[in-house]
Structure 1
Amino acid sequence: MELIRQGKVRDVYADGGDVILVASDRLSVYDVVLPTPVPDKGAVLTQLSLWWFRQFADLVPNHVISEDVPEEWKGRAIRCERLDIVPVECVARGYITGSGLTSYEATGEISGIALPPGLVEADRLPAPVFTPTTKVDEGHDEPITFDDVVRTTGEETATALRDLTLEIYGRGSEIARERGVVIADTKLEFGLRADGTLTLADEVLTPDSSRFWKASEYAPGRAQWSFDKQYVRDWSSTLDWDRTYPGPEVPADVVAETRARYVEIYETLTGEKWT
């Protein structure tokens, strides 16, 4: 098989007319791949994504064909359809945090959407918002407006991207809330089939692509306890590191805690024991 793309976490191989998407144990923060892997991370991302794909099957088609992959990748890889990937990161936010909070504090807006005054960190928004970004292989994704998406994809596709992103976030949030989890925000990726059908791709509502908070400990006005990559971002922010290559080695205790949080969110959401 031919390696056709290597991302920060996933490797994409061509296999005949299909592609095989392999999630590695690599860990990236601030678009820098750290030198220390997290055991089982790739498998958690893959299995949680497969679970979510099933939850949304009636909303939107997805790229999954099967888990028929080479033995060395079992559990952390998916055989997928080839798609023309839409060059937009589709972000839904239900709470204000991260780069959204930074933008709001500077301008009162996120991606051109004006928000009410007086919001504080982790506040729930009046309604979820679609705050897309660019999608680049090198460097940092940058916030864009819905009108920018229209110019990139056309109005029909842009509207479908926005509506599907918010529908998936809404349903996912309801499912998670029933299990004691707040989904603060999430990032989705879509592609087009040859016939133009918009199709959900890549990963879905994982701790790499979403912020998951404990509902029982949620309190606006401060940072939240998280089941996701924010834990590693917070650790890295304590270092004398300028967020460029090479990234710092991750201590064993941070690796272990990261793995534990990824496994816990998988078990909490799916109701299945990680083995």
Structure 2
Amino acid sequence: MSGFVEKPEPVQVSGLTHLHTGKVRELYQNEAGELVMVASDRMSAYDWVLPSEIPDKGRVLTQLSLWWFDQLADLMPNHVLSTELPSGAPKDWEGRTLICKSLQMVPVECVARGYLTGSGLVEYDDSRTVCGLALPEGLENGSELPAPIFTPATKAAVGEHDENVSYEEVARQVGADTAAQLRQATLAVYGRARDIARDRGIILADTKFEFGFEGDQLIIADEVLTPDSSRFWPVDTWQPGRAQPSFDKQYVRDWLTSPASGWDRTSEQPPPPLPPEVVERTRAKYLEAYELLTGSHWS
């Protein structure tokens, strides 16, 4: 069992129809048929949306996504139409709201991995493969892969696990042509972002994208290359063979699975609130990632 510890009531705004409450985002539709995405400060981990929020997190995710969309503009079109606040929207939506194209979304999490960690490491230790792709012997936690790989997953509902699937399964589900487009786009965007991040002292270990179609054109959507959707490691402390320090929500995961939290991940009990120091440390990590990548001071 998992999901929301405390499911929020969405804000009602005249002229907007609420469509969906996600782990982090609220999704609305305006009268023009466009999507309105509002990033909250909610934090999710281990398929639970936690009872504690991280101040400014939604704004960091939104502003960092916008920065990345600009870096990728010549490579891949995106879904953003405007950042203008809808009429009647609460002031708190400022900086965390995107007006977006309504796309025909592809039901696949498009994951690119350049380093071995997470669920990929678990599978590799068992079978020397990741999503069925054979990898060489001798890799360990944090090892750089010989080349980046496309390791798709099924997109799960809130409270359920995304499940890694093979490329062949994606082709079966969405068609061979679309699967090929997804793989090419995922690896191209990852390659561009990996190089940009490394120049700024950050290793982009892995990341996930979502894509949709506008007619025949594939478009990147949702958030991109944020601490919620990516693993960011400092270049100067990278050392294979151990868990890496990170700029993402790994700090929250580590606390939840530590004796200090008192929480048993294998139980059906929801996780506890985060202590103030964990909230503040996590906020600091998100801001540090934003500032290192963009070169801008968060204000």
Normalised by the length of structure 1, the TM-score is 0.97
The one of 55, 66, 80 aligned to 2:100: 80
| Count of equivalent residues | 274
Aligned equivalents of 2:71 and 2:80: distance in 1? 13
SS of 1:36's equivalent in the other structure is strand
Match of 1:256 in 2: 280
Q: What 5-or-longer segments of structure 2 have no aligned partner?
A: 1-15
Match of 1:132 in 2: 152
Match of 2:5 in 1: none
SS of 2:203's equivalent in the other structure is strand
Normalised by the length of structure 2, the TM-score is 0.90
Match of 1:100 in 2: 120
Aligned equivalents of 2:255 and 2:92: distance in 1? 32
Aligned equivalents of 1:15 and 1:232: distance in 2? 35
Residue-by-residue CA offset, 1:34-91 (whole Å, 9 max, x unaligned): 0000000000000000000111111111000010123431101100000111100000
Where in structure 2 are the equivalents of 1:187-206 lying within 5 Å?
187-193=208-214, 195-206=215-226
SS of 1:116's equivalent in the other structure is coil
Residue-by-residue CA offset, 1:184-215 (whole Å, 9 max, x unaligned): 0001001111x121110000000000000000
Task: Note the C-alpha offset of 1:171.
Answer: 0.5
Aligned equivalents of 1:153 and 1:55: distance in 2? 28
1:186 aligns with 2:207: yes
Aligned equivalents of 1:164 and 1:242: distance in 2? 35
1:241 aligns with 2:257: no
1:269 aligns with 2:293: yes
Aligned equivalents of 1:77 and 1:152: distance in 2? 32
RMSD of aligned residue pairs (Cα, Å): 1.0
SS of 1:27's equivalent in the other structure is strand
Where in structure 2 are the equivalents of 1:1-275 lying within 5 Å?
1-16=16-31, 17-69=33-85, 70=89, 71-138=91-158, 139-193=160-214, 195-238=215-258, 239=261, 240-242=263-265, 244=268, 246-275=270-299
Task: Note the C-alpha offset of 1:248.
Answer: 1.3
- Counterpart of 1:235 in structure 2: which amino acid? W
Larger Rg: 2
Task: Note the C-alpha offset of 1:241.
Answer: 2.1
SS of 1:127's equivalent in the other structure is strand
